[in-house]
Amino acid sequence: MLGQDVRCLLVVAAASGIATLILILVQVKDVYLPARTKYGMVFDAGSSHTALYIYQWPADKENGTGIVSQAEACTVQGPGISSYADNPANAGASLRACLDKAMTIIPAEQQRETPTYLGATAGMRLLRERNSTKADLVFAEVSKTIKQYPVDFRGARILSGNEEGSFGWITINYLLETLIRFSFTGMWIHPETAAVVGALDLGGASTQITFHPGCAIEDNSTEVLFRLYGTNYSVYTHSYLCYGENQALKKLIASLREENLTSQQISHPCYPKGYEENVTAAALYDSPCVPAPAAHDPSQILTVRGTGAPAECRSAIQKLFNFTACGANRTCGFNGVYQPPGHGQFFAFSGFYSVFHFLNLTSGHPLSDVSATIEHFCAKDWKEVQMVDPGMNKTRLQDYCAASTYILTLLLQGYKFDNQTWSNIHFHRQVGHLPGKVCCAAWVMP
């Protein structure tokens, strides 16, 4: 068991509402379980919505690391908690229905010893950056609500981007059994380290890339060390705040407006021709990711009109990145951030999966087919786009060209996949029988 002097916190990392149960330790991370079966609860406070995951684990261990399973999941109604910045009491109230449900699942005699955590990711990171007082009030309200239930509440906190990415890597490898698996002979088997896969995550406000590079990591700020099931892992991870899908598409509109700041009209090459929407300047510039011009009227109504121009769409999206700011003798992702060469297989989930799933591109299509499909879709006018899936909520349809073009740009020019390595990317909503990023890797008791 870990000693009392080792400080730890088990929290949840989220992106686009898919949870990652994670263990945060000082320096090297390791995972242990208590001597008997227990329950635990984790609120995944993502940028778009919140979910509650209930876990249970037996005493079964291998090299001190335990096997955890998900008992239940509950999606909180409403948006992510960062959306309640102006009405923080509602953030707490939104959690009640799922907490009530949890109390019907966890035996009454075990509820008071059930460790409960709330972990928030990029949505709350942005709120904290914009207004730390409002972020604190939101956390105070969700904490107050959870404390009203007979559970062992261990706290709420905002995860760093690297924490979110690195433990997403644990999640996917735990579920794929690349860290350890139970053989038919009743023995625990440790696969070769080379079997682990990389994790690509696209949330609403940030994107993460995490993988075991198979070589020395030159930048210590991008390295995380884990000890899992008796094996040491050195993992590269980086999180790009403001490059999640929602924030990137908002940055795109702001970038298009920069071409003519005095006009109230914005021509959008990624929106289908015939589509039009109005947005206030206040709504467009409401995020630290999208700084407002020096002089602007927040009440101004801007009209965004689609032009359906695939080539112009690609060019506009590429301008959101800096692909050249990399020092000599150094490999980078984008914006000058160090990244070792990609290594092995990668699983892409969250926004990567949902957007490509809409375009039927998640089943191992070659890169040429993916590019052609996106090009064809982006050339459709608004009437044609609405016919692709007539029963779908139309609030997102206009974004699929921009989102798919953004994803392709991010993967190819940002994360440096190419025609040879494209087949190493596997798009998945979920692995096995658990949601896409549920990390059953660890639960640490002091």
Residues with a known catalytic role: 164
377 vs 402: CA distance, rounded Å: 10
233 vs 28: CA distance, rounded Å: 10
Q: Which residues contact 442 (CB under 8 A, 6 or more apart)?
A: 10, 21, 22, 23, 29, 31, 32, 65, 66, 68, 170
Write out the binding residues: 204-208
Q: Which residues contact 411 (CB under 8 A, 6 or more apart)?
A: 200, 348, 352, 417, 425
- Measured at the CA of 125, the angle between CA 120 and CA 127, to 5 degrees, comes to 110
Other Cβ atoms within 10 Å of 119 Cβ, number: 29
3 state SS of 165 = helix
Task: Give me the residues paired with residue 231 across strands.
Answer: 228
Cα distances from 265 to residues 259, 296, 304, 350, in angstroms, run 11, 15, 6, 33
Write out the binding residues for ATP: 204-208
190 vs 231: CA distance, rounded Å: 9
